[in-house]
Amino acid sequence: MTSAGLTRDFLAAHDPHALAPLDFLRARFDAGLAWVQFPEGLGGLGLPREEQSAVDEAFAAAGAPDNNPRRIGIGLGMAAPTILRHGTDEQRRRWLRPLWTGEEVWCQLFSEPGAGSDLAGLATRAVRVSDKDGDGWIVDGQKVWTSMAHEARWAILIARTDPAVPKHQGITYFVLDMTAPGVEVRPLRQATGEAEFNEVFLTGVRIPDTDRLGAVGEGWAVAQTTLMNERVAIGGGAAPREGGVIGVVTDVWRKRPELRTPALHDALLRLWVEAEAARLTGTRLRQQLTVGQPGPEGSAAKLLFARLNQEISALELDLLGEEGLRHDEWTMRRPTVVDFAGRTAGYRYLRAKGNSIEGGTSEILRNIVAERVLGLPPEHRLDKDVAWKDLPK
């Protein structure tokens, strides 16, 4: 039976208006209609990825509850594909279902104060121990720019397990219980006034070896799965025409003719065309995912997303003038989602500045596109064969 037929049968047997939302989502996962491309028993049916959009549309048309994807986007877009590809059967069964239903929120512990753009230079250490509590790791270090850490139950974490080898080789990938002793989350207040990001301090945190993803020392390869999926999730997401920030600005343009000038008209047309080209490119990128894992093309999509968001939000301020300088909220709070469309022009302008940093800085992404997409000569890297412990700190 096709996914469309299975969806109809499921909805006939599970009334979305009669069941509690969590019960409905759990049943949908168990029926294989969460990620149809995932294997059976893990929320999927082993079907082509392109069938997912029709399934999602059918559930939306029936008024079924969703899993609040904006709140659990890190789990859906980054943790889940990494667990599926590199996790054991037991790890997949343990983490994927509550991740998809939204019962357990995930965050990402990658960047550090001294290892942002040069992520492989990270200094957080994980030392292996074996004692009465079993085989495990003791982790010490600091992570930064961690979205959703204040809400998260689990984190994907990379740490250095061998400082005596070159920096890319001595990294191991873990899943961290954010409720474990020694985990401290502190808010980082941004220009918007909110503390959407956090810094996370790890002091003597124990991670059982059963919560390691991939082999010891191969964390960089595992992390590439996460990073490639992250960039697709940020820059290559599905959106209708005039979706996102460009839709907000065009709506103002249509409703407020007194604000229009010929120069603003030219600028809006240029950005509208670029936004539409980016949307169609994102559609093509998602189609390419049906035949394999995301590649460096996701970096180009994320790079374009950041530039467009910043230019469009700046145009909105030019269009609104003094009105656009008002900021709706400066109270210190810790939001659970990032909502560009539902906020003011001032918020969008300030928040868009972070788009060229989060998910890989635009400078690093340009290097990736140059080297891996265009085939240009790579940068000279003098630290490539030097042990991490011998690098200048």
Rounded CA-CA distance 223/221 in Å is 5
Residues 30-58: pLDDT tens digits? 999 999 999 999 999 999 888 888 999 99
Rounded CA-CA distance 253/292 in Å is 41
Rounded CA-CA distance 244/297 in Å is 21
Q: DSSP assignment, residue 322?
A: G
Residues 270-289: pLDDT tens digits? 999 999 998 888 777 766 66
Residues 289-335: pLDDT tens digits? 655 566 667 778 888 989 999 999 999 999 999 898 887 767 888 98
Rounded CA-CA distance 22/45 in Å is 21
Q: Which helix (H) or strand (E) holds 176?
A: strand 171-177
pLDDT for the residue numbered 91: 98
Rounded CA-CA distance 162/169 in Å is 8
> Any idea which residues carry the catalytic annotation?
230
pLDDT for the residue numbered 85: 95
In angstroms, what is the C-alpha Rg of the chain?
Answer: 22
Residues 146-193: pLDDT tens digits? 999 999 999 999 999 999 999 999 999 999 999 999 999 999 999 888
In contact, 109 and 157? CB cutoff 8 Å:
yes
pLDDT band of residue 117 (cuts 50, 70, 90) is confident
